[in-house]
Structure 1
Amino acid sequence: MKFRQLISSFCLFALSTGGAFANTPSLVVYTEVSPPYQYLEGDQVSGIATERVRNIISHAGLTAEFKIYPWARAMLNVERSSRALIYSMAKTPQREDRFHWIAPVARFDLSILSLAKRNDIQLDSQLNLNGLSAAAQRGDIAESWLVTKGLREGKDLLVCADILCSWEQLKVGTVDIIIEDPDLIEATAELAGLQAGDIKVVQAVPALSVVAYLAANGDMDPEIVERLQVAARELGYQ
C-alpha cells in the first residue's frame, strides 16, 4: 500500500513539475553574423553580444533557440512570431514602436571604409558621396543612410544579404566603399579573406554611432517582456 502511495505521489510530482516546465515559454532569437558580437562557432551562435543575450534569457528563467540569418531575413522572421527576439538592433524612429526594447547589448560607431590602396577616395566634412559606389546589407541602418546620401539600388548602391557580402564586393572592387565599425575590421576582414592592413577608414559617420539592443516582437506576451527587462536590469545591462 505504501509502495502504491509512493508511486502515486511521484507521478503527481512529475505531472506538476512537467506542467510547470511545459508552461515555461521557449523563445527564438534571431541575429546576423557580425563578429565579435555574434557569429557561428561550429554549430553554436557565440560572441560578446550573444553571451549577454543568453545571460538575460537564463536569468529570466526562460529558454531560447538561437538562429543566424542575413539581417533582412532575421528582421522578417522576428516580426512573424510573437515569441521571437532579435539582436543587435539599432533603435530608430521607424522601428521604435514595432518592438519591445529589452536592453542594450552592443555599441557600433560606424565609418566609411575602403581598400587601403584607394588613395583617390577623399571626402569632405559633408560626406558627399557623389561618384562613389557602396554596398550595404538590406534592412540595415547603413543602407538607409546611404540612400539619404543619394545612392540608389541598382545604380551606385549594391544591396547585400549580409555584411560579409558587402566586404566581398569591396574586396573584388565591385564597390568603392562600405559602412562598418572600425573596431570590427580585424575580425571581419579575416572572414572575407583580407588582412586588417588591406582596409582603411575613410571617415567616421557620426549619424551612425548607435547603441544596439536586444528587442522583442511587438506582440510578445507582456509578462515575458517584463521578465526579460527585469532580468536585464538585475544583471546591470540597462
Structure 2
Amino acid sequence: MLPFENLTLGYDRHPAVHHLNASIVEGEFIALVGPNGAGKSTLLKSILGQLTPIEGRVIFHGITKNDISYLPQASAVDRTFPITAEQFVATGLWQELGAFGQVKKHHRVRIHEALIKVGLAGLEHRSLDALSGGQFQRLLFARKLMQQARLLLLDEPFGGVDEQTVEDLMQVITELHQGGATIVAVVHNLSLVKRYFPRALLLSRELIAIGATAEVLSQDNLNRASTIGFADKPDADICAVHDHA
C-alpha cells in the first residue's frame, strides 16, 4: 500500500530520517515508535505530502491523498476558534460535501452517533475552549469517524489524556481497523503498543526494526534505538524508549 524507497527526510537539508526502506501494508494496525527526535512525526508529514524527500520517495499503491486522514497532536489544533463541538465534527465531512455543501439531517445523525461513540453525547453545543483535554481528544476522533478514510495516521493520539480516555479511544481505533481502515499511530507507551498493536516500526532516524511487535520491541532493539543516530548531535535531547509497564 505504502512503500518507502530509500527515503531520506529532513529540514534545511539536515536529515531527520535516513535511507528508510520499509512498507505499510494495506490492513495494517501498526505502531510507529522510537525516541524523541527519531523522525516519527516527520515520516507522517512525508506521507501527507507536507515534506519533500531529500532522497528517495514514498510510493502510493492503489490509494490517493484523498484516502488518507490525519489526526495531529492536540496541541497543534487552535481551540480558540469560535465553533461548537458539533460544528467541529462536521468539518470531517469536507471531502464529502465540498466547500459549499450543506450539512443535512442525515449528516447530523452521523455526527450525533460519532459523538456518542467517543463519549461526548450532550456536549454538541459546547465551545472548543470549554472542553477538557481528554474531551477535546475524543472530539478529534469523532471528526475522524466522519471521514471514513482508508488510511488513518495518528500522531501521538493519547498525549495528556487519562487512562480511561486512552482505553475508550483504543476501542474506537480498533473498530475503525475492523471496518477496513489501515492504522498507523505514533505511540510512546510501549505497554499500550504491546497490548493493542500486532505490528510495530521502530525508528531512530533510521530503521531499527519492523515486524511483529514482540520481536521489534526486544531489549536489544530498544537499546540500539536509544543511542543510534544521535552521535552526530551531541546536544540533542535524547530520550530513550521506555516501557511504562
Q: Which interval holds the TM-score relative to the shorter structure?
A: under 0.3
Greater strand percent: which structure? 1
* TM-score (ref. length: structure 1): 0.24
* Bigger Rg, which one: 1
* TM-score (ref. length: structure 2): 0.23
